[in-house]
Structure 1
Amino acid sequence: MKQILLSALLLASAQTGFSQFSAGIQGGATTSHTDATPDQSRYFYGANAAYSFSPYLSLGANLSAGQLEGGDEGVASMMHYTNNFFQADLNLKFFPVGLFKKAQQKKYLYYLSKIYASVGVGLMKSQTQINHLPAQADLFEFMDNYSGTNMVLPVAFGIDIPLSKPFKAKGFYINLFYKANYLNTDKMDGYQPRLSSNEKKDTYTNFGAGISYHF
């Protein structure tokens, strides 16, 4: 995997006449996917920066903060949590249509070349408050307010929509995206049930929008 990423970076950096930085802000909704059900939606906000090696590959950094919630707050006997989190991650974006030279010549391909997929790695710091269930304590390996930092693997799909004229690299862009964040812990929501079927780690998703400027 490392060799593939290195080869892609070397190939991209070999292209001349294309290198640009961008910086922006973003925000939107978070949705919890953990043991505490039903899933609830809250919010996030943040900032990002990126360096484009070529029309089809860029390396970015994201900083975000927000809140996650899951479970039923109105029922005392059910799981419920809120998590005020902070996340920092690096991501590699791939714009597949950007591989085609005609994407810099034909308008419809130019706009299609702004659709991307990305994968990354980062850290998430959690401050979780839960609804304690003392009568059900034997059903859990872990049940407590959780404070910790864990590795997170974000996978995203999105589009960068240029607000400037076609084929002009510099200018403002609107970004729309959907991102799944896979954690390496099952304690982020404060609950780890003693179930043989409980093999999945905690996950949350973002649906967001942002604005950035490409220099």
Structure 2
Amino acid sequence: MNPTNNPKKMFLEIVKQLRQLITEENVAVGGKLPSERELAERLQVGRSTVREALRSLELLGLIETRRGEGTFLSDYRKHRLVEVLSTFILQESKSKEDVHTTRHALEKDAIHTISNSKRLYELHIWDAFKEKLIVEEIIREDIIREIIIISNNRLGLKIWFLLKQFAGEPYLENMSLEEKSHWIQLLTAMQNGEEHQAISLYNEWLLLINRGDV
């Protein structure tokens, strides 16, 4: 495989190569895949890039990593819906706009779930997040990931992790002071069960980072 300087294309190519390898070598369900080192050598890429691709396939339920044993092919028939979704998402022709739209929908759904669940919006973690926003640097992606995890949408979380590969740099940057103010208000709205206000603040935050005003 010819290496590329584009991390997104490299990730897609590695996933494609991994799937071809599984097919061509007729790896059966439960069969062991080559090690990270061997895959990196065969695909001529760094081990960290291979590790990211394997992690995404594992989150989709297509492979299983056993500590001290290696990586094995899962029974994909148990994950038919996830497999169909992953095949659709991993096409190179998939537009960045559609990827972002899908990711935003998952994030809004998590906000909706928490805002409408007294058990979830009364968790002490929200106060901890607000305090962290005041006194520490925080990466945009970190707080969103925790919101999705707490919403307990496991399928959504698997898809969100996969979409993370396509999200680009904006989500990996630290929040500005203006963003932090938005998120403190957003978390407060969630804690008060004010879904519409929380979603509105989320949309305003997206406009801020899309315009590059932060």
Q: Smaller-chain TM-score range?
A: under 0.3
Structure having the higher Rg: 1
TM-score w.r.t. the length of structure 1 is 0.20
Structure in which a larger fraction of residues adopt strand? 1
Structure in which a larger fraction of residues adopt helix? 2
